[in-house]
Amino acid sequence: MDFDDLLLFPLTLFAERPERLAYWQRRFDHVLVDEFQDTNAAQYRLVKRLASEHRNLCVVGDDDQAIYGWRGADVRHMLSFQEDFPARPSIKLEQNYRSTQVILDAANGVIAENARRLARRYSPPSRAGSPSRCSPPRTSATRRSGIAGELSRRAADKRRGV
Q: Identify the bridge partners of residue 31 per DSSP, sorted by sequence position.
A: 57
Beta strands (DSSP E) in the chain are: 31-33, 57-59
Which of 8-22, 72-86, 109-123, 132-146 has the largest mean confidence? 8-22
pLDDT in tens, 71-97: 888 888 888 888 888 888 888 777 777
What backbone torsions phi and psi does residue 28 show, to the nearest 5 degrees?
-115, 90
The confidence band for 123, taking pLDDT boundaries of 50, 70 and 90, is: confident
- DSSP helix/strand/coil, 153: helix
**pLDDT, the chain, mean:** 85
Cα separation, 134 vs 67, in Å, equals 23
The confidence band for 130, taking pLDDT boundaries of 50, 70 and 90, is: low
Which is nearest to 42 in space by CA: 2, 84, 78, 73?
Answer: 73
Q: Is residue 18 over pLDDT 70?
A: yes
